[in-house]
Amino acid sequence: MLTPRFEITQTDEEVTIIVHAPYANIKDAEASVDGTDFRFYSTPYYLRLQLPGEIEENDSSSGAYDCEKGDFTLRFSKVNKGEHFENLEMITTLLAPSKNKSTVIPNIEVIGNPSAASADMNNGVDGSGNNWFAPQDNFVETEAILLNSPKYGFANKISGSLTAFEAAWIKEIIDLPAPDATPEVERKTLREQRELSDFSEEHYMADLVQPECKPYITYTAEWDTLQKDQVAFSETESDLLKELPNKEYLLSSEDVQKLCLNVVDILYASCYNHRTTLGENTTESSWTINKLSSTLCWFQNFTSLDEVITACIRRSLCYPLYRNWELSIKVFEDVKNVLSLGRKYIVKRFCEIHSLFNNSYEPRYILNQLYVKDFLVWLQTLPESLIESLHSALSEIHPNKANMGLDLIELEVATYSVQEEDFVIENTIHKMTNNVEQMSLNGSTQERPKNVYHVNQKFFKYLLSSSSSSTDSSDTDSDSNTSSSSSSSSSSLDSDDLDDEPK
């Protein structure tokens, strides 16, 4: 059975459910409601939803089919008039029967190696014994959990899932050495050490003096103009969300805090990619998001927002093509703008990441299994109030160069000092050029030997070469080299240059 794409809207008195089923057999189409339970069936489609409020079928209810669009439009009355149904846009959370909260057990899932995967299909019977419910999630791959092994993945609930993969494969997407053996407490230290060794002072200084990223800094991103009530899922995003398994997670307050910090980390990488591609993803987009996120590249969990933002900015100054402080801060502002648009837009950003990873040349689909798919499910259940508090807390963070641990201030002082010296030399040469040209113009109005202008030109070339050589040579050898060059040039001007005068 296929799960059709659907959309739900509401007024104070009724709920409208639009089911997109273009290949449906209209003759056997059925729709029924029972309190919060809605069911639709028409070969080869089946849809069952658990709504956040009760609806009923009465004389005002109606149904229609648009044969051109393939849409069933079904309207039902609300039992409690004026009641507002929350989260009707969160597709995945609606696609399952309600569960008894007291019987929920911790959801710990381990991603298995494809060659050793085993399918465990649900028998199709729900808690009430009703076997009319057809499972709408794919089979889950499982393997034994190594309780003493380091944990990673969503909410740090996975272990031992990468041992079956070749090390060369894993290194393509994960910088953490031996993820199934390296203790979690060592991840931050190892990451910071790698960043220090990978940070290029020359690259940073070059981008500081000649910033090619100006167009990206001034770029108006989607979230700069989008309003919260304008956010909507595309057909591709809806298709992805309806295929996700509806899980419930038993998480402590500490787990929720860590997951929120992971969300900020991943969103920063996504925003950097969006801004530096001007909203048009490239073949490098999946690498950029993967590389800039400490969560996805190092399996790191954070303890504070300061720690997250510092890690994000450090990595943005170490790895991508454009390594500019102003750009990194602009991306930080982007993250705040994304959070201000609420849960639905955050889910859209993660849908894009899922698509990029699935279509990546490297095996980044593993990261979808470890992190992204669970984030897509969990984010749909996240209260808007928690996202608002996260946005508020992020507004209190003010990153500075001194805390990056990369000696950025010293590098910038040295860069501007060298740039100022080069500017002085350039101005001196420019003045000399003007003086020589003025001498030439003045000399053209009066009689003088023809060889004078010729010698002046040769002398000017000497000055330029002398200036260039003096800037390249060391301080200890500058006096001797200048003296030698002067005598040599003087000799050349007295003999060779005069011999070259026009006859």
Tokens of 113: 């190696």
Distance CA 94, CA 233 (A): 15
pLDDT computed for residue 451 by the predictor: 45
| Number of other residues whose CB lies within 10 A of the CB of residue 464 | 12
Mean pLDDT of the chain: 80
pLDDT computed for residue 266 by the predictor: 98
Nearest one of 192, 205, 200, 199 to 409, comparing CA atoms: 205
Q: With contact defined as beta carbons under 8 Å apart, do 317 and 208 qualify?
A: no
Amino acid at 370: L
Maximal CA-CA distance, the chain = 116
Helix, strand or coil for residue 250? Answer: coil
State mean pLDDT over 343-347: 96
Phi-psi region of 17 (alpha: psi -120 to 50; beta: other; left: phi over 0): beta
Distance CA 360, CA 365 (A): 8
Tokens of 39: 């069911």
| Number of other residues whose CB lies within 10 A of the CB of residue 343 | 21
* Pairing of the two strands 30-42 and 14-20: unpaired
Distance CA 460, CA 186 (A): 62
pLDDT computed for residue 27 by the predictor: 85
pLDDT computed for residue 426 by the predictor: 54
| Number of other residues whose CB lies within 10 A of the CB of residue 440 | 14
Tell me, what DSSP letter sits at residue 153? S
Tokens of 496: 């060779």
Nearest one of 160, 154, 158, 153 to 181, comparing CA atoms: 160
State mean pLDDT over 163-184: 87
- Secondary structure of 297-350 in HEC code, one letter for each residue: HHCCCCCCHHHHHHHHHHHHCCCCCCCCHHHHHHHHHHHHHHHHCCHHHHHHHH
pLDDT computed for residue 95 by the predictor: 86
What are 381's strand-pairing partners? Answer: none
Write down all domains in the chain, each with its CATH number in brackets. Answer: 5-88 (2.60.40.790), 154-404 (no CATH)
Q: With contact defined as beta carbons under 8 Å apart, do 243 and 355 qualify?
A: no
Judge whether residue 450 has pLDDT over 60.
no
DSSP state string for 421-452 = HHHHHHHHHHHHHHHHHHHHHHHTTS---HHH
Of 120-134, 257-271, 422-436, 453-467, highest mean pLDDT? 257-271
pLDDT computed for residue 479 by the predictor: 45
Judge whether residue 502 has pLDDT over 70.
no
Judge whether residue 440 has pLDDT over 90.
no
Distance CA 6, CA 24 (A): 14
Quickly state the pLDDT bin for 172 (edges 50, 70, 90): confident
pLDDT computed for residue 421 by the predictor: 54
Helix, strand or coil for residue 408? Answer: helix
Q: With contact defined as beta carbons under 8 Å apart, do 271 and 340 qualify?
A: no
At how many degrees (to 10) do helices 325-340 and 305-316 cross?
Answer: 130
State mean pLDDT over 351-358: 97
Q: With contact defined as beta carbons under 8 Å apart, do 132 and 351 qualify?
A: no
At how many degrees (to 10) do helices 343-358 and 384-394 cross?
Answer: 80
Judge whether residue 403 has pLDDT over 70.
yes
Judge whether residue 137 has pLDDT over 70.
no
pTM over 0.85? The answer is: no
Where is pLDDT greater, at 211 or 191? 191
Q: Which residue has the tokens 């849960």?
A: 343
- Secondary structure of 218-249 in HEC code, one letter for each residue: CCCCHHHHCCHHHCCCCHHHHHHHHCCCCCCC
Tell me, what DSSP letter sits at residue 486? H
pLDDT computed for residue 428 by the predictor: 57
Residue-wise pLDDT for 42-63, tens only, equals 889 999 999 999 999 988 889 9
pLDDT computed for residue 232 by the predictor: 93
Where is pLDDT greater, at 223 or 23? 223
Helix, strand or coil for residue 34? Answer: strand
Quickly state the pLDDT bin for 139 (edges 50, 70, 90): very low
